[in-house]
Chains A and B, each alone.
Chain A
Amino acid sequence: MNHARHLSLALGAVAAVLIAAACHDAASPQGTITAGILPGHDKGGSQCADFRLTGGGRVDKPEPETGKSPPSSHDFATFGFQARPDAACPFGMAGSGNIEWNEHLGTQFGGGFAFHGTVTMFSTPNDGTETNPQCGRFGGFGRLNPHNGPTEEDVSFEVNHACDVDEPGVGKDHIYMRIGPTADGSIYFRHSLLSGGNIQWHRLTGNN
């Protein structure tokens, strides 16, 4: 089952790249595929990981902009996650953990949504951020719960990268979230520096 899901996730990522027409860092409108040639996705494969990641907080403007959206804007998301490899290198890229992602922009997946994902893959990134040793990549499947629409199960997601750049992480740590394609072919992504919260990278020591 896990192998099938990994294959599906990989095929989904490839499909997103092939379908895409233009790079767009902001969240994508509902019912359209705005993902472009995802930055750096042609830079080679991911590697197994000997670290884990935790994080949570808020993201607003597309990278490299920083700060919060104005108080009248719904253009932001909040999140929390924990993710780790199932086994230390060199034993593959199976992963475990969870992610919550709450999008408030009304044009997304039926008026904003809550996404509850389960991590099945964990590795180093392959989108160019792998040059930072404190970045990780993970993905899996989850439940998409739009504010104004039916719940959709088994929707794939991928955090192309989550990077721990400094403490505290506001304005420095960054995350790239992609959800979909959904049943109608929509893909969501948001790529931002943190406007609140933190991401932490922890080397696996055998005790953690």
Chain B
Amino acid sequence: MDAVFDFLAPVGLNETNFQFMLIAAILGCSIYVTLYGGMFSLANAGFMAIGTYVSVVLTQRYDWPFVPAIIAGMVAGGLIAIIVGLPVLRLSDIYLAIATIGFGEVVVVLIRNFDRIYEEIFDKKIEITGGGKGIKNIPVTTDTLHLIIFLLIVVYFLYRMQHSRFGRALAAIRQDETVAANLGINVVYYKNVAFIIGAMIAAGAGGLSGHLNRVIEPDDYDFDRAVDILTYAVLGGTTFFIGPVVGGMVLRYLPELLRRLKVLSFVGSIVGRDLTNEQAAVDGIINGIVLILFIVYLPGGLADPQLWKSLYRRLRPNNTQKGAP
């Protein structure tokens, strides 16, 4: 393993970045489940925050062991998803997106003020979430293997989902909710289950990342994070189970690659201005352009089987002609 990372380090694939890429892939999967059912939910950053805080609070303040704490975080995410999902999933399209943005912001504010709310109600000072300062000195417990195993379980689930009754029901709902309901599919049930599963995956990713960064703070799970998670799935593709994994990994890797490519000295030489100080801003511009280009020209995502099939066909036109009688 180490040898592989040593070899790939110059292009930015060291173990640390690989871990972040794995987390991004898991997060991409979490939103994939809902997108697969045609639900445009941006709540996953909120669920990630819940998973992170529940599991980190359990390990740090109550000395729980690592794995049960992560599972507890996932359960907490799932429970809240049950409560939130039932009313919110009646909305569709942009309305659902906005409502879940609101949900995410509320989660962040409540986590930030948890100690204070508790104090206000019970008149007793506590330190659970640590407010705006977050929780510090969390020992690094998550290692690459944990992340790989978790991702593999999630991907296996997505793979099975694609060919199961559950997955087909979701796909039908995505195509047309009314038709699906007329076909006897319990739309409310399937949508909620997908929402809960997505929330649990996000919460699990949160718990794992919380034990990786040494510090957590509420602001890490705001709207920007929700947008990141969404772009992972959209870039990879929302109809094929490998999509979110590819999307998450590529998008999380892209800034690290840009960091090393130093596109700047090149662009600067064209523009005739020293841009080396502006690396970060230029990276932002490139990130934005990549996002738009993908949405515009590769709407099926990077991992769209159709795309690769047509590409494959186009690259080997001679062979197919020869093969034809």
A, B from the same assembly: no
Give me the interface of B with A, judged by CB distance under 8 Å: none
